[in-house]
């Protein structure tokens, strides 16, 4: 039995701050996080925890550090790592110009493994400890990301892309091969260590109705797996979906007719939704992944967070690399704040950090395992360096409370602020060289 404790500033959520106010979060200016065998025993005021700690448990003191649960990214594409910040397109032309040519390289398992290593290092560098990840159509791309994550003991969700039309032939499967390859991957990886599988139709335009129905059959056979896809990201995309599925009343109805809505279905973007679609998402328990950096970069639109919340639709934050321009959840929260400002809404620091931690865990039905410092949770956490740069130290010295500190971190933060990332209580190497 291995025990350890970390002393510093602690911050974590136990509920949604929109609903519970100040009762939703805990902040300890001098706190201790106590870990046993990779799981949290207790977190709280230093004096109180010290009185419970066995004298043999070492305490690591972390001055000027804010300890909080690791970030949870609910939508990201690992094959697009190399094409992040590719210039000048909107969604559909961007896919054809950059995405599809890049993803063809992942037929090579060695290449897939190389990029998977770089990708996971970037997540850890930026304090992301759990992610819902798109691979490519190639089964070997899924093996690569799961093998690399397993070696790091990460909790991730991923899956093979299903895509049988409107893409280069080398990136297309068929309804039957997509089904059989996905089933084999589910059996090989789902529930192994901390790895979870997601059935992954890319988006409606690249899957035939037959393939979407086969995806539903997989869900019926394996009800505890996830489903991830895209929804209502771009207006040209909506028009294309209408032409391809003329019998569907809207984009969401394509997935609804195929039986793909539900509590473990995560739909990325969801920008252009009417009241009917919102009601159906809510009634089915489906989830939206808000990707603010990507939406701004591709000019897709402004996510209506308040409308989505009014319908009680669960929401997580997605970086959506490579359309998103940063692996940093801090930068994505900054962009999220700006998106809401353009909608006339002020996103509080508490609400933003909730969406990136416990809110993301709840959206993925993983809040009994990650996203908080409650006892029994897996010890995936990060330290944010409050003196990482001279200017940050100067700026934070003028903050009056934890809310102001969090907001400044959200607006000014990047990977330099992440001084440590721990997975199941083990510190990971950060800022790995790529050469």
141: left (phi over 0), alpha (psi -120 to 50) or beta: alpha
Q: Do 67 and 421 contact (CB within 8 A), yes or no?
A: no
Give the CA count within 13 Å in the CB-facing half-sphere of 313: 33
Cα–Cα distance measured from residue 412 to residue 88, given in angstroms and rounded to the nearest whole number: 26
Dihedral sign of CA atoms 252, 257, 262, 265 in order: negative
The angle that helices 209-221 and 175-189 make with each other, rounded to 10 degrees, is 30
Give yes or no for residue 433 having a pLDDT over 70. no
Best CATH choice for the domain 3-69+371-427 from the list 3.40.640.10, 2.30.40.10, 3.40.50.300, 3.40.50.720? 2.30.40.10
The structure's pTM equals 0.97
CATH code 3.20.20.140 for 71-347: yes
Q: What burial letters (b/e) apply to 248-278, b meaning 16+ CB within 10 Å?
A: bebbbbbbbbbebbbebbbbbbbbbbeeebb
Say whether pLDDT at 217 is over 80: yes
Token pair in block for residue 262: 């539900």
> In the prediction, which pLDDT does 435 show?
58
* DSSP string computed for 352-417: HHHHHTHHHHHHTT-TTTSSS-STTSB--EEEEETTSSHHHHHHHTT--SHHHHHHHHHHH--GGG
Q: Identify the pLDDT of residue 52.
A: 94
What is the per-residue pLDDT for 88? 75
Burial 198-234 (b: 16+ CB within 10 A, else e): bbbbbbbbbbbbbbbbbbbebbeebeebbbbbbbbbb
Name the DSSP letter for residue 274: -
User: If you ran DSSP here, which 8-state letter would residue 53 be given?
Assistant: S
Predicted pLDDT of residue 90 = 84
| Confidence class for position 91, pLDDT limits 50, 70, 90 | confident
The strand pair at 195-201 and 226-231 is best described as parallel
Least Cα distance to 3 among 28, 40, 30 occurs for: 40
**What's residue 196's pLDDT?**
98
* Per-residue pLDDT, 434: 62
Question: Residue 92: pLDDT above 90?
Answer: no
Among 132, 152, 258, which Cα is nearest to 197's?
Answer: 132
Identify which of 197, 78, 178 has the alpha carbon closest to the alpha carbon of residue 138: 178
Structural domain boundaries in the chain? 3-69+371-427, 71-347
Query: Please, what is the average pLDDT of the chain?
Result: 96
**pLDDT tops 70 at residue 287:** yes
Cα pseudo-dihedral 120, 123, 127, 130, rounded to 10: -70
- Whether 432 has a pLDDT exceeding 80, the answer reads no
């Amino acid at each position: 039995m291995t025990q350890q404790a970390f002393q510093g500033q602690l911050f974590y959520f136990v509920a949604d701050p929109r609903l519970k106010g100040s009762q939703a979060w805990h902040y300890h200016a001098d706190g201790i996080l106590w870990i046993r065998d990779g799981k949290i025993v207790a977190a709280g005021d230093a004096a109180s925890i010290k009185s419970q700690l066995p004298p043999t448990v070492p305490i690591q003191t972390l001055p000027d550090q804010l300890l909080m649960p690791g970030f949870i990214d609910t939508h990201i594409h690992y094959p697009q790592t190399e094409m992040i910040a590719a210039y000048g397109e909107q969604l559909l032309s961007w896919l054809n110009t950059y995405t599809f040519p890049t993803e063809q390289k992942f037929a090579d398992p060695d290449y897939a493994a190389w990029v998977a290593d770089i990708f996971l290092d970037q997540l850890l560098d930026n304090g992301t400890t759990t992610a819902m990840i798109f691979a490519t159509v190639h089964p070997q791309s899924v093996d690569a990301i799961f093998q690399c994550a397993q070696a790091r003991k990460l909790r991730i969700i991923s899956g093979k892309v299903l895509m049988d039309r409107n893409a280069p032939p080398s990136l297309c499967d068929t309804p039957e091969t997509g089904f059989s390859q996905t089933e084999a991957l589910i059996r090989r990886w789902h529930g192994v260590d901390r790895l979870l599988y997601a059935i992954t139709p890319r988006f409606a335009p690249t899957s035939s109705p037959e393939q979407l129905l086969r995806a539903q059959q997989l869900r019926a056979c394996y009800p505890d797996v996830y489903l991830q896809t895209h929804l209502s990201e771009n207006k040209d995309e909506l028009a294309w979906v209408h032409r391809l599925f003329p019998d569907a009343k809207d984009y969401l109805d394509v997935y609804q007719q195929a039986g793909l809505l539900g509590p473990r279905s995560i739909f990325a973007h969801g920008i252009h939704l009417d009241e009917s679609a919102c009601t159906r998402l809510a009634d089915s328990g489906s989830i939206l992944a808000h990707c603010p950096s990507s939406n701004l970069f591709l000019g897709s639109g402004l996510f209506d967070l308040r409308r989505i919340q009014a319908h009680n639709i669960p929401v997580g934050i997605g970086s959506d690399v490579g359309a998103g321009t940063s692996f940093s959840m801090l930068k994505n929260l900054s962009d999220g704040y700006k998106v809401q400002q353009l909608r006339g809404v002020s996103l509080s620091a508490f609400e933003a950090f909730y969406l990136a931690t416990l809110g993301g865990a709840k959206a993925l039905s993983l809040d009994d395992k990650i996203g908080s410092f409650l006892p029994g949770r897996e010890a995936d956490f990060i330290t944010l360096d409050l003196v990482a740069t001279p200017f940050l130290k100067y700026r934070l010295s003028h903050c009056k409370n934890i809310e102001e500190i969090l907001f400044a971190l959200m607006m000014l933060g990047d990977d330099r602020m992440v001084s440590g990332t721990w997975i199941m209580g083990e510190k990971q190497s950060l800022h790995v060289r790529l050469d």
